Amino acid sequence: MKLRSDYRVLPSLRLVDMPPYAFGQLDELKMNVAAEGTEVVDLSLGSPDRPTDERVLKALYDGMQKRRNQQYPIFSGLPAFKDTICEWFEGRFGVKLDPKEGVLPLIGSKEGIGHLAFAYIQEGDITITPSPYYPVHKRATVLSGGHVYELPLKPENNFVGDLDAIPEDVLLRAKIMILSYPHNPTGACVNKAYLKKAVEICKKYSIILLNDFAYSEIWFDDYKPSSILEIEGAMDVAIEFHTFSKTYNMAGMRLGFACGNPEIVQTLYKLKTNLDYGVCMGIQEAGIQALNLGNEYREQIRLEYQARRDFLMPRLKEIGFKPMTPKGAMYVWIPVNISSLEFANNLLTETGVAVVPGVTFGAPGEGYVRIAMVQGIPALELACEKMAKFCEKHPFAFQV
Ligand SMILES: Cc1ncc(COP(=O)(O)O)c(C=O)c1O
């Protein structure tokens, strides 16, 4: 490590051992490619391309005019925002949340997921996570001193983790089990029977069931995801995380919420009161407006992603790729024949198409790259043309 001064104060070893967050490195590479004059088609980060709705922006602006909202927020969240969440949740999933203790606004769901590990994991505790994984699903536990049991997602199981394959000694030491379907990066989805089994296991072994439900509203065809809280008994063990980043195109505002078992939600709240001040109240008012945009708005967003998927799948197959058709989320997970890093770097430098190397999501992601459907169809078409040329030039790279 290059030292900036004579002082030598080492960061925590847990942080020193942590590899850099790959998306930061990718940003640099994208900038270099663009600086050389290549047009970059960015299908890397899952950051939605559509603008935040005008009505939501107005609610944010109006919200910030209020003197009270210019001060520190209410730690536990704006009651009107929590009530609106409860109303939406009951309408969508048929589940009544406890608006006082069972809902907590977050500075984005990643923040809450990370902090939940800090709240519960002690030295030696285990978190079980599907792998490949969204990085915070592993890293927060490692930073808290715990161990992670990676449940492999295999193509022969449609990238769904086999809950029966988790060894009993792992279940006995586990404190948190993570589910996150529709899944990032694979696009895998599960049914209610799967959720029921996870609840049964978590109840039997006293494990917190953390459902990261970032893509609850982005689903395709006849598949519609269920909340873990719809499952009988889940309220005893589960906490579910939702985000406004994806469906409402609000990734920049940083807004999400946790809901479920009041004791678990309140433990997260207790940790957060020690570290942050909660969510800006103007942003929570924008969140109320977002939820009130209604089903028509959400359906329009969902159908846009479905149109992108329907455009992309046949073209990727024509090129020669063999991806699984996702039933939800906003990603296509593509097997490649060389190292995922090499494939992604070469594709970017030679063509300007940015995708994420699968190894970013853990060792089982090696041999895959992830495309995020975060551009409109014309840009996807251009990306496909560029990828077709790349694959013609390097046929070995993708014949799997
Ligand atoms: C599975 C999953 N969870 C959480 C997040 C982060 O959401 P937020 O913007 O609310 O922090 C993402 C973002 O890509 C994600 O893919």
Q: pLDDT, tens digit, for every residue of 115-128?
A: 999 999 999 999 99
**Model pLDDT for residues 356-372, shown as the tens digit of each residue:** 999 999 999 999 999 99
Polymer length of the chain: 400
Rounded to the nearest 10 degrees, the angle between the axes of helix 262-275 and helix 109-120 is: 100
At what angle are helices 294-319 and 377-393 packed, to 10 degrees? 20
Confidence of residue 4 (pLDDT cuts 50, 70, 90): low
In the prediction, which pLDDT does 362 show? 95
Say yes or no: CB of residue 256 within 6 Å of ligand 1: yes
pLDDT at 3: 58
pLDDT attached to residue 218 = 98
Question: CA-CA distances (angstroms) from residue 378 to 44, 306, 331, 375, 385?
Answer: 17, 15, 17, 8, 11
Tens digit of each residue's pLDDT (9 = 90 or more) over 101-156: 999 999 999 999 999 999 999 999 999 999 999 999 999 999 999 999 999 999 99
**Residue 374 CA to ligand 1 centre (angstroms):** 14
| pLDDT tens digits, one per residue of 231-288 | 999 999 999 999 999 999 999 999 999 999 999 999 999 999 999 999 999 999 999 9
Are the beta carbons of 249 and 51 closer than 8 angstroms? Answer: yes
Q: Ligand 1: which atom is nearest the Cα of residue 134?
A: 1
| Residue 324: Cβ within 10 Å count | 16
Q: Is the distance from the beta carbon of residue 135 to the nearest atom of ligand 1 less than 6 Å?
A: no
**pLDDT for the residue numbered 23:** 74
Is 240 close to ligand 1, i.e. is its CB under 6 Å away?
no
400 to each of 1, 386, 395, 396, how far by Cα in Å?
38, 20, 10, 8
Q: Is the pLDDT of residue 2 over 90?
A: no
Q: What is the pLDDT of residue 400?
A: 61
Ligand 1 binding pocket mutation candidate from 180, 245, 331, 333 (most atoms within 8 A of CB): 245
Residue 26's pLDDT band, with cuts at 50, 70 and 90, is confident
Task: With cut-offs at 50, 70 and 90, classify the pLDDT of residue 1.
Answer: low
- If one counts every other C-beta atom within 10 angstroms of the C-beta of residue 172, the result is 11
Rounded to two decimals, the pTM is 0.96
> Does any ligand 1 atom lie closer than 6 A to the CB of residue 212?
yes
Percent of the chain with pLDDT over 90: 92
Q: Rounded to an integer, what distance in angstroms lies between the CA atom of residue 226 and that of residue 257?
A: 17
Q: What is the mean pLDDT of the chain?
A: 95
Work out the average pLDDT over 318-335: 96
Residues sharing a CB contact under 8 Å with residue 391, sequence separation 6 or more, in sequence order = 319, 320, 321, 397, 398
**356 beta partners:** 370
Domains contained in the chain, CATH given: 13-51+296-392 (3.90.1150.10), 71-294 (3.40.640.10)
- Of ligand 1's listed atoms, the one at least distance from the Cα of 47 is 14
The tens digit of pLDDT for each residue in 162-178 reads: 999 999 999 999 999 99
Give the separation between CA 50 and CA 48, rounded to whole angstroms: 6
Q: How remote is the CA of residue 270 from the centroid of ligand 1, in Å?
A: 22
**Which positions ≥6 away from 36 have C-beta within 8 Å?**
none
Secondary structure of the chain as H, E, C letters:
CCCCCCCCCCCCHHHHCCCCCHHHHHHHHHHHHHHCCCCCEECCCCCCCCCCCHHHHHHHHHHHHCHHHHCCCCCCCCHHHHHHHHHHHHHHHCCCCCCCCCEEEECCHHHHHHHHHHHHCCCCCEEEEEECCCCHHHHHHHHCCCEEEEEECCHHHCCCCCHHHCCHHHHHHEEEEEECCCCCCCCCCCCHHHHHHHHHHHHHHCCEEEEECCCCCCECCCCCCCCHHHCCCHHHCEEEEEECCCCCCCCCCCCEEEEECHHHHHHHHHHHHHHCCCCCHHHHHHHHHHHCCHHHHHHHHHHHHHHHHHHHHHHHHHHCCCCCCCCECCEEEEECCCCHHHHHHHHHHHHCEECEEHHHHCHHHCCEEEEECCCCHHHHHHHHHHHHHHHHHCHHHCCC
Q: How far is CA 153 from the centre of its chain?
A: 16
Atom of ligand 1 nearest to the CA of 109: 10
Question: In this structure, how many other beta carbons lie within 10 angstroms of the beta carbon of residue 276?
Answer: 14
CB 286 within 8 A of CB 57: yes
Q: In this structure, is the dihedral angle defined by the CA atoms of residues 309, 312, 318 and 321, taken in order, positive or negative?
A: negative
* Average confidence (pLDDT) over 28-53: 94
Give the number of the atom of ligand 1 that is nearest the alpha carbon of residue 183. 1
